């Protein structure tokens, strides 16, 4: 009676050795670190990651690996996965983790008067914009636009950045419907993220983290995301066209912001980059306080705005199904 065949244990599975000793209750630390890091931590959002990091030293060490945050950045904002942006992120003090905490939070600009002399406008000769558009929390459009900020052309004209190339169209899963209510509901499921990256200063800021949707009712084919913070507004306009079988395609996108010219906008951007960041909780608490203070004056408007903000700023992180899990498993014999 031979028992010759035993499936060879893969080298990485030190845990199977444990099994032989009888049934021990498995703790997460019995898993191979690679498994925890690549396949479990990669599916967590940032607040859960923070909690996991505080449970024990082993998980703490794993959570603080660059890969975990690089992965989280990529899945949260696919635009940041482009090689150029990735390189810039790597130069941040704590790499992707610094970038994430800069961009996931809500900026609170430093409150100095515009044109303040301590601002060095030459500090940011170039800015990178990472733009993502989401429908039902799934990314449908990701673009990276770089712009110089020193030329007369930039400084004199009002700030305006085109997201798409001329005549470019990007298909979306959105279907045009003649039912106005349904169309409204569909448009409300769009969300935009606009991250400004200052490569030299190693900072980033998300200008659209508490934006609301305002759109032209006439055609309803242009969606406008607007965000007003610290008195400075910024907006992203996205234009759609309807093609065959009602499919809606993004045919244009424009970013604009406060400032009568690029120079003024640059000051606003630098103040946002240098300013503090608030978590969503901190922000909404402060917002509620300010709302109470201003009640009576523009009460109903703020209530509506507050509702929109809460609705839109649901901090969903989209974790894509990791197709490389599959390929790794196949090749890791």
Partner 1 sequence: MSSSVEAITVLSSDGDEFKITVSAAKLSKPLNWMLEDVCFSDDCDEVPTIEVNSKTLVKVIEYCEKHAPRANSGASDSDAEELKKWDIEFMKMDVKDILFHILMAANYLHMEGLYDLACQTAADLMKGMTVSQIRKIFHIKNDFSSEEQEQLRRQHPGCSFD
Shortest CB 100 distance to partner 1, Å: 13
Beta bridge partners of 229: 232
Contact range with partner 1 by CB under 8 A, out of 15-23, 66-74, 169-177, 293-301: 15-23
Contact range with partner 1 by CB under 8 A, out of 7-15, 200-208, 236-244, 294-302: 7-15
Beta bridge partners of 257: 234
What is the residue whose two structure tokens read 């909690």? 51
Contact range with partner 1 by CB under 8 A, out of 37-45, 85-93, 114-122, 151-159: 37-45
What is the dihedral angle through the alpha carbons of 130, 108, 258, 116, rounded to the nearest 10 degrees? -120
Q: Of residues 11, 27, 93, 153, which one binds partner 1 by CB under 8 A? A: 27
Which residues 280-299 are close enough to bind partner 1 by CB under 8 A?
281
Cα–Cα nearest to 311, from 183, 223, 219, 187 = 187
| 314 forms part of the interface with partner 1 (CB under 8 A) | no
Shortest CB 314 distance to partner 1, Å: 14
Q: How far apart are CA 270 and CA 120, in angstroms?
A: 9
Q: Is 107:207 a contact under the CB 8 Å cutoff?
A: yes
Q: Of residues 4, 217, 219, 245, which one binds partner 1 by CB under 8 A? A: 4
**CA-derived radius of gyration, the chain:** 24
Please spell the DSSP secondary structure of 52-66, one letter per residue.
HHTT-HHHHHHHTSH
What is the residue whose two structure tokens read 């894509």? 320
Contact range with partner 1 by CB under 8 A, out of 39-47, 131-139, 247-255, 267-275: 39-47
Chain residues that interact with partner 1, rule: CB under 8 A: 1-10, 12-13, 15-16, 19-20, 22-23, 25-32, 35, 39-41, 43-45, 47-48, 50-60, 279, 281, 321, 325-326, 329-330, 333
């Amino acid at each position: 009676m031979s028992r010759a065949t035993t499936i060879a244990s893969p080298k990485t599975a030190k845990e199977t050795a444990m099994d032989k000793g009888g049934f021990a209750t498995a703790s997460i630390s019995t898993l191979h670190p690679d498994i925890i890091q690549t396949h479990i931590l990669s599916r967590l959002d940032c607040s859960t990651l923070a909690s996991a990091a505080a449970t024990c030293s082993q998980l703490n060490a794993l959570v603080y690996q660059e890969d975990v945050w690089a992965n989280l950045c990529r899945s949260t904002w696919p635009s940041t996965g482009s090689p150029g942006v990735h390189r810039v992120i790597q130069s941040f003090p704590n790499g992707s983790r610094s970038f994430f905490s800069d961009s996931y939070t809500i900026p609170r600009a430093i409150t100095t008067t515009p044109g303040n002399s301590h601002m060095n406008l030459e500090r940011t000769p170039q800015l990178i914009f990472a733009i993502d558009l989401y429908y039902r929390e799934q990314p449908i459009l990701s673009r990276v636009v770089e712009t110089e900020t020193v030329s007369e052309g930039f400084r004199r004209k009002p700030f305006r950045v085109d997201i798409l190339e001329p005549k470019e169209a990007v298909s979306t899963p959105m279907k045009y419907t003649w039912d106005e209510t349904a169309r409204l509901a569909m448009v409300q499921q769009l969300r935009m993220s606009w991250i400004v990256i200052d490569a030299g200063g190693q900072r980033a800021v998300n200008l659209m983290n508490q934006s609301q949707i305002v759109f032209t009712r006439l055609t309803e084919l242009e969606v406008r995301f607007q965000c007003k913070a610290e008195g400075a507004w910024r907006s992203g306009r996205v234009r759609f066209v309807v093609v065959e079988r009602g499919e809606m395609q993004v045919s244009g996108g424009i970013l604009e912001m406060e400032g009568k010219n690029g120079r003024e906008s640059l000051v606003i951007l630098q103040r946002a980059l240098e300013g503090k960041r608030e978590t969503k909780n901190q922000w909404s608490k402060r917002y509620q306080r300010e709302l109470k203070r201003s009640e009576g004056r523009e009460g109903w408007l703020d209530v509506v705005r507050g509702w929109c903000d809460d609705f839109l700023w649901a901090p969903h992180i989209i974790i894509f199904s990791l197709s490389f899990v599959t390929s790794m498993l196949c090749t890791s014999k």
